Amino acid sequence: MDKIFLNRMCFYAYHGAYPEENRLGQHFYVDLEMTLNLQPAALADDLSLTVNYGQVYELIEQEMTQTKVKLLETLAERIAGRILREFPVAEVRLRVTKPNPPIPGHYESVGVEIVRKRS
């Protein structure tokens, strides 16, 4: 199967388990890989036979900026579920990264990655 990907999308949002995260907000990064057959669209040179990247971006932006959740796991699950419901993809691999969570230690970032398939 073929893949479409949108990498390193950046959003300022208010997700987190701690009150200051919900109040102050922070940057999040989203990486997405969608599996589907791209050959029909490629042969016909027809956008209607594939997934419109702009529409996918808008869906992710909406979930990132218009909702508030405590867990990255919840956020990833919601985004992946909507993509599978609204677009003709077989599989979604989604990574949500929080570069500056308010936890002690030295690290570049924390995040989750999920894979969901059409059932």
Residues known to be catalytic: 98
d(CA 65, CA 15): 9
Distance of alpha carbon 25 from the chain centroid: 18
Closest by Cα among 97, 116, 117 to 107? 97
Amino acid symbol at 106? H
Neighbouring residues of 60: CB distance < 8 A, sequence distance ≥ 6: 6, 9, 11, 30, 32, 79
- Using alpha carbons only, what angle is made at residue 14 by residues 11 and 20, rounded to the nearest 5 degrees? 135
